[in-house]
């Protein structure tokens, strides 16, 4: 079993290439089952995985006539793969050619292949772009992920499939977790029958939470697509929905969709007598959005501890990420970088790129230091060549 604890170890491999550096950090891993009475389980969540038209064009290798995405995640793969469970939001369809970006996304299947190789363990698929390619897009996305044996939840081929597969249950390393997934809508495109896209509806979510609690999981996780785009604070609807979910059994709420970061909360609810984690938005994981505050996001890490039947949140933290681009031999590449490390190594980026990344970091820290509740940042500590909580 992989376990991520406060003290990480990291292996750094520096390969200078077009102003980039190959960064290979690893969260520490150990066998938590060595103590039968105490177990730990690490969770990582990323923001929106998007593919705009320019990204699709850049991923195409004319020499091999294939789409290549491994480089997108190269610098974060050791972090992503070190968790016991890493979850990402697939904000697009795998609807087949012709491949297109905004406003009706359909991306090459190799994107999913690279996501799995990078260490993503589960994808949530209910979002406002789920129906971009109508019925074919919903069905084909499910078929591709199933063919890759890539766990996923949020969209279904039929109500019968949903009844069988939902809530999504994960039993691993002595822990039992439920992952639920919902979206506020599908951009005005009707959900094509007989497919199902989980929508935010209190009656539906309450019924799902009843079913989830009946499975007696250690934690119930809700990944939810909501809120207003490009707003740094959650709106009243987000807060109300979050409270509704918590009151009906949810323990961890992970928000997507605004394309910018929003506050994160970690606290003990004295009335419900349990730990609660709320993240209103993790921003963009990878996209071609380059405007201020949209060119990056955060990875959230949550460490659970289990002693007997009691499961608590032992540690939480976020790690800022920034999307860098580079043109090599006429082809444009996208790279998700661990921002704190590159901030302390400015020679690895051009002055222009460093300034843009620094602006994203400053904006993010100003917001999250002010608005977060018991949710600190993981930063690179060069003295110990390791990550520490700040």
Residues with Cβ within 8 Å of 336's Cβ and at least 6 positions away in sequence, in order, are 72, 73, 75, 76, 285, 286, 321, 322, 323, 324
Digit-by-digit pLDDT tens for the chain (390 residues) are 433 333 332 333 333 333 444 444 445 544 544 545 789 999 999 999 999 999 999 999 999 999 999 999 999 999 999 999 999 999 999 999 999 999 999 999 999 999 999 999 999 999 999 999 999 999 999 999 999 999 999 999 999 999 999 999 999 999 999 999 999 999 999 999 999 999 999 999 999 999 999 999 999 999 999 999 999 999 999 999 999 999 999 999 999 999 999 999 999 999 999 999 999 999 999 999 999 999 999 999 999 999 999 999 999 999 999 999 999 998 999 999 999 999 999 999 999 999 999 999 999 999 999 999 999 999 988 887 778 898
pLDDT at residue 384, as a whole number: 78
Residues with Cβ within 8 Å of 48's Cβ and at least 6 positions away in sequence, in order, are 89, 91, 127, 256, 257, 259, 282, 283, 284, 285, 287, 297
pLDDT at residue 387, as a whole number: 83
Q: Which of 92, 69, 194, 89 is nearest to 141 (CA)?
A: 92
77-103 pLDDT, tens digit per residue, is 999 999 999 999 999 999 999 999 999
What's domain 9-389's superfamily in CATH?
A: Metallo-dependent phosphatases (3.60.21.10)
CA angle, residues 16, 17, 21, in degrees to nearest 5: 50
For the chain, the structural domain boundaries read 9-389
Whether the CB-CB separation of 153 and 177 falls below 8 Å is answered with no
């Amino acid at each position: 079993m992989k376990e991520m604890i406060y003290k990480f170890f990291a292996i750094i491999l520096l390969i200078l290439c077009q102003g980039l550096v190959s960064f290979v950090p690893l969260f520490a891993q150990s066998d938590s089952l060595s103590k039968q009475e105490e177990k730990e389980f690490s969770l990582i969540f990323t923001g929106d995985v998007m593919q705009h038209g320019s990204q699709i064009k850049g991923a195409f290798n004319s020499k091999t006539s294939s789409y290549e995405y491994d480089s997108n995640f190269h610098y974060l793969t050791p972090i992503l793969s070190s968790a016991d469970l890493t979850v990402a939001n697939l904000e697009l369809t795998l609807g087949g050619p012709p491949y297109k970006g905004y406003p009706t996304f359909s991306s090459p299947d190799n994107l999913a292949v690279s996501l799995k190789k990078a260490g993503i363990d589960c994808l949530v698929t209910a979002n406002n772009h789920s129906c971009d390619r109508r019925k074919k897009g919903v069905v084909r996305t499910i078929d591709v992920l199933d063919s890759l044996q890539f766990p996923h939840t949020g969209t279904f081929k039929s109500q019968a499939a949903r009844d069988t597969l939902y809530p999504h249950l994960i039993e691993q390393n002595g822990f039992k977790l439920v992952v639920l997934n919902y979206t506020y809508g599908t951009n005005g495109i009707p959900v094509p029958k007989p497919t199902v896209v989980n929508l935010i509806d209190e009656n539906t979510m309450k019924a799902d939470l009843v079913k989830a609690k009946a499975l007696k999981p250690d934690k119930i996780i809700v990944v939810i697509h909501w809120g207003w785009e490009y707003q740094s604070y959650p709106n009243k609807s987000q807060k109300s929905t979050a409270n509704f979910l918590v009151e009906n059994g949810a323990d961890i709420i992970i928000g997507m969709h605004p394309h910018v970061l929003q506050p994160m909360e970690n606290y003990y609810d004295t009335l419900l007598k349990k730990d609660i984690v709320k993240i209103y938005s993790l921003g963009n994981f990878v996209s071609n959005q380059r405007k201020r505050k949209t060119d990056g996001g955060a990875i959230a890490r949550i460490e659970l501890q289990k002693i007997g039947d009691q499961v608590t949140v032992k540690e939480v933290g976020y790690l800022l990420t920034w999307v860098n681009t580079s043109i090599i031999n006429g082809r444009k590449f996208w790279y998700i970088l661990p921002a704190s490390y590159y901030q302390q190594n400015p020679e690895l980026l051009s002055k222009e790129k460093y300034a843009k990344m620094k602006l994203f970091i400053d904006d993010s820290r100003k917001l999250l230091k002010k608005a977060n509740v018991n949710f600190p940042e993981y930063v690179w500590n060069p003295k110990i060549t390791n990550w520490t909580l700040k």
